[in-house]
Amino acid sequence: MNANFHGKHLITFDNWTKQEINTVLELAGELKRLRSANEITNRLINKTLFMVFFEQSTRTRNSMEAAMTQLGGHAHDLTADKMQISHGESPRDTAKVLSRMGEGIAIRNCFYGIGNKYLNDIATNSDIPVISMQDDIYHPLQAIADLMTIREYYGANLSRLKIVISWAYATTHAKPLSVPQSQVLLFPRFGMDVVVAHPKEFPLQKDIVERAKLNASKNSGTLTFVDRMEDALADADVIIPKNWGGFGYFDDFIDNDEFYTEMKNNLEKHHDWILNSEKFALAKPDAKIMHALPADRGNEVTDEIIDGPNSIIYDEAENRLHTAKSILALTM
């Protein structure tokens, strides 16, 4: 195991090298095979991970806790109300104290304009690795599991593979930008042709788009944007229908009722942004359907598509476990 990983923070894979990312994927594959063979992998025996959740979670919470258990360690499942964070404890104090008691800190904080800054404040003051379990800008754990899943189906050489990341209508809540932003930053680095479709009111952040375009140009990938789902789907190999909020549409984010009312009004203009059988027919017949879950069924995507033979959403969800184990084993 490469000792250079020990203590390394993961806020975004954009500051990890391709070699480091490939190492994560290789170890994840090995750990997946060992689990299938019912082999014990006590690589983190007696080590502790502090998991701090500011929001709800299914896949992230359970993949990270199961990962620590299967590696022989223990994960503390924490929320802000269980800690003095709820009483105003500073990121520095939280980081310094937890650094004295365990070997890793993982945080989910998706509050827009707050989450990524909080994670970086913790990382600056931490003496142990800090892992983003999702913030308002990045979701590295989802992106790496997605990449592992794509490689399982298409092989290590992903050059010219067409990935469609499409905004889709949803009614649940104003979802973060972090999943599509992490995907557009990561996928073109492996030579993929990424097409992003979204209404004009739901763009990604401008600085993320510029960095993603640079990643594409440096790695023989491509990144293009269209404003109709149908225009993106022709000859697609992988389709990811995913709602995200309209935070990037506003130059200055203002967290008030008027802002969210305008975002909701923009949302209601685009009920037709749903991946159904008619739209799916525009893609390759064997195109794979992916989704970070939970899916807003009947709004983002129809049941017949997400539950159909082309859907690989549960392989994708399972790989959250194996990639989490790899990252924890390498960094802790």
**The CATH number of the domain where 324 resides is what?**
3.40.50.1370
Residue 3: per-residue pLDDT: 54
| 132/42 same-domain check | yes
| 285/327 same-domain check | no
- Report, as an integer, the average pLDDT of 204-209: 97
- Report, as an integer, the average pLDDT of 210-235: 97
Q: Give me 319's structure tokens.
A: 């790989």
- Res 96 pLDDT > 90: yes
Residue 253: per-residue pLDDT: 64
Structural domain including 219 reads 142-314
| 307/289 same-domain check | yes
The answer to whether 99 touches 127, Cβ cutoff 8 Å, is yes
| Neighbour-count burial for 222-250, b at 16+ CB within 10 Å, e otherwise | bbebeeebeebbeebbbbbbbbbbbbbbe
The helix/strand/coil state of 238 is strand
User: 139: Cβ–Cβ under 8 A, 6 or more apart, which residues?
Assistant: 132, 176, 178, 179, 181, 182, 292
- Count, residues in the chain: 332
Q: Give me 281's structure tokens.
A: 């027919």
Write the Ramachandran bin of 46: left for phi over 0, alpha for psi from -120 to 50, otherwise beta.
left
For the entire predicted model, the pTM comes to 0.96
| 155/115 same-domain check | no
| 96/167 same-domain check | no
Backbone angles phi, psi at 238, to 5 degrees: -135, 135
- Report, as an integer, the average pLDDT of 39-56: 96
Domains contained in the chain, number: 2
| 55/81 same-domain check | yes
Residue 34: per-residue pLDDT: 98
Higher per-residue confidence, 15 vs 258: 15
| 183/299 same-domain check | yes
DSSP letter at 273 equals -
Run of H or E residues at 154? helix 140-154
Residue 257: per-residue pLDDT: 73
Query: Could you give the CA distance from residue 119 to residue 139 in angstroms, rounded to a whole number?
Result: 12
Query: What's the burial of 215, exposed, middle or buried (CB within 10 Å: 0-12/13-18/19+)?
Result: buried
| 194/283 same-domain check | yes
| 131/166 same-domain check | no
| Mean pLDDT score across all residues of the chain | 95
| 102/132 same-domain check | yes
| 186/296 same-domain check | yes
- Confidence grade of residue 84 (pLDDT, cut at 50, 70, 90): confident
- Confidence grade of residue 289 (pLDDT, cut at 50, 70, 90): very high
Higher per-residue confidence, 247 vs 65: 65
The answer to whether 277 touches 253, Cβ cutoff 8 Å, is no
| 175/273 same-domain check | yes
Lowest mean pLDDT among 10-19, 172-181, 268-277: 172-181
Q: Give me 125's structure tokens.
A: 């003051």
User: What beta strand segments (E) does the chain contain?
Assistant: 48-53, 74-79, 104-109, 130-135, 162-166, 193-197, 222-226, 238-241, 288-289
Tens-digit pLDDT profile for residues 241-260? 999 998 888 766 666 677 77
Residue 83: per-residue pLDDT: 85
